[in-house]
Amino acid sequence: MPRLVSVIVLLALVVVLGALFFRVMADFLVPVFLAALVAVLLQPVQRWMVARCGGRVSVAAGLTTTLLLLVVLIPFAMLLTRATAEGIRLVRSQKSLGPDDWNVEKLVEQVNNRFGLHISAEDVAEAKKTLWSRANEWVTSRISTTAAFFGELLLGLAVMTVSLYYFLVDGENMIVSVGRLLPLDLGYQRQLLDKFAQMSRAVSAATLLSAAVQTILASMGYLFVQLDSVFLWTLLTFVAAMVPFLGAAIVWAPAALWLYFGAERHTAAILLAIWGFGAVSMVDNFIKPLVLQGQAKLHPLLAFLSVLGGVQALGPIGIFVGPMSVAFLQAGLKMLSVELDALKQTAPAMAATVPPPPAPPG
């Protein structure tokens, strides 16, 4: 009896502390999850580094993490610098966006002649100033929101970097320690870990390949319609293409609208919109399911729905979690089937070992 009470108290304590732990770590779950995913992808590099460092795992992990930062941050900084320069040049070249440069009289005259109206230029000018003032207020609020977003992004990157280093150093020990606490056969644990590594590679490959193909197709469209600052639009397309649902449409759609209303190049705008919808955005629906089917052994329909459902339920991180949940479910069902078959085979043997009941007297 005292032992049972002790177990109940320990279970209650674990539940309470587990809930508190989750509350404390909730804001860092996504960076830690991404760090674990990147650690899996970098295992070949880490093993190579360990061999070159004479078996010193911590030194190799530091070099691997530093190499990743250099490979990612330096090109990103260079691309961001050029994109920013093109963005500034684009804004400066579009002075016609300013309210003082709009030809209100000519616009009002055209509208009145076409629709038979009697709108005064003064009314339109007043509405124009009000609209421009509210637009400036909206931009100001967006700037503050963007600053907060980048602050959270930098904190997340820092947490991800530190977590990546420790996963590379102690990843195996962490897995063994957690595995000892789980009431699951070690062989099944290894299968789940292998499935996680397989899905990490598959989803990463599908996301990057889809974004690269969409970016190439979009840049072809930008060049064909002779859009200004093609490099800026191309870089934005690559970043947006990794965002589920809208994806590259976040970039090519505003570009087409700008061509139609701002530059008044109607034919070029329509061609870019048709190309963006029919080629750029549609290719994402084919590449990701095909890659997930080939590398992760998921049915194309399950691959497609798992990505969409994961994003709808969990946001952008769902693009990884959705397919992984389906793959883990498949693996779990296979393990359960094996265990049930083993139980069916052992049941007759156990029945044979049970002694028959004693015969009734007399």
What does the pLDDT read at residue 117?
64
| DSSP state, residue 361 | P
Q: Report the alpha-carbon distance of residue 318 to residue 309 in Å, rounded.
A: 8
| DSSP state, residue 101 | G
Q: Report the alpha-carbon distance of residue 162 to residue 38 in Å, rounded.
A: 12
Q: Per-residue pLDDT averaged across 65-90, rounded? A: 75
CA dihedral 327, 332, 333, 338 (to 10 degrees): 130
Ranges 28-37, 65-74, 106-115, 161-170, most confident: 161-170
Q: Which residue has the tokens 């007297």?
A: 361
Decide which of 355 and 160 is more confident: 160
Does pLDDT of 94 surpass 60? no
- Percent pLDDT > 90 in the chain is 2
What does the pLDDT read at residue 293?
73
Q: What is the pTM of this model?
A: 0.64
285, exposed or middle or buried, with CB in 10 Å at 0-12, 13-18, 19+?
A: middle
What does the pLDDT read at residue 342?
78
What does the pLDDT read at residue 189?
77
Query: Using alpha carbons only, what angle is made at residue 360 by residues 354 and 361, rounded to the nearest 5 degrees?
Result: 135
What does the pLDDT read at residue 300?
72
Q: Per-residue pLDDT averaged across 12-32, rounded? A: 82
CB atoms within 10 A of CB 53: 15
What does the pLDDT read at residue 96?
46
What does the pLDDT read at residue 171?
81
Confidence of residue 179 (pLDDT cuts 50, 70, 90): confident
Ranges 116-125, 134-143, 272-281, 326-335, most confident: 272-281
Q: Report the alpha-carbon distance of residue 158 to residue 163 in Å, rounded.
A: 9
Q: Per-residue pLDDT averaged across 240-258, rounded? A: 80
- Supply 155's token pair: 């904190």
Q: Report the alpha-carbon distance of residue 78 to residue 70 in Å, rounded.
A: 12
Task: Answer for the pair 199, 329: CB distance below 8 angstroms, yes or no.
Answer: no
Domain boundaries of the chain, sorted by first residue: 184-340
From the list 261, 237, 260, the residue with the least C-alpha distance to 250 is 237
Interior/surface letters 169-180, b for 16+ CB within 10 angstroms, e for the rest: bebeeeeeeeee
Confidence of residue 142 (pLDDT cuts 50, 70, 90): low
- Supply 205's token pair: 């490959």
Q: Per-residue pLDDT averaged across 17-42, rounded? A: 83
- Supply 61's token pair: 């992990």
202, exposed or middle or buried, with CB in 10 Å at 0-12, 13-18, 19+?
A: buried
Q: Per-residue pLDDT averaged across 290-295, rounded? A: 74
Poorest-pLDDT segment among 80-94, 217-231, 272-286: 80-94
List pLDDT tens digits, range 99-124: 444 455 666 666 666 666 666 666 66
Give the mean pLDDT of the chain.
77
Decide which of 120 and 286 is more confident: 286
Does pLDDT of 68 surpass 50? yes
Tally of residues, the chain: 362
What does the pLDDT read at residue 108?
64
What does the pLDDT read at residue 253?
87
- Percent pLDDT > 70 in the chain is 75
CA 202 to chain centre: 13
End-to-end CA distance of the chain: 44
CB atoms within 10 A of CB 358: 6
196, exposed or middle or buried, with CB in 10 Å at 0-12, 13-18, 19+?
A: middle
Does pLDDT of 348 surpass 70? no
Distance (Å) of CA 255 to CA 43, 121, 123, 230, 281? 40, 30, 30, 10, 14
Does pLDDT of 350 surpass 60? no
Task: Answer for the pair 247, 241: CB distance below 8 angstroms, yes or no.
Answer: yes
Task: Answer for the pair 306, 326: CB distance below 8 angstroms, yes or no.
Answer: yes
What does the pLDDT read at residue 75?
76
Give every CB contact of residue 71 below 8 A, 6+ residues apart in sequence: none
Confidence of residue 311 (pLDDT cuts 50, 70, 90): confident
Confidence of residue 309 (pLDDT cuts 50, 70, 90): confident
Q: Which residue has the tokens 């009941």?
A: 357
Confidence of residue 236 (pLDDT cuts 50, 70, 90): confident
CA 170 to chain centre: 26
Does pLDDT of 308 surpass 80? no
- Supply 135's token pair: 């637009």
Q: Report the alpha-carbon distance of residue 230 to residue 350 in Å, rounded.
A: 74
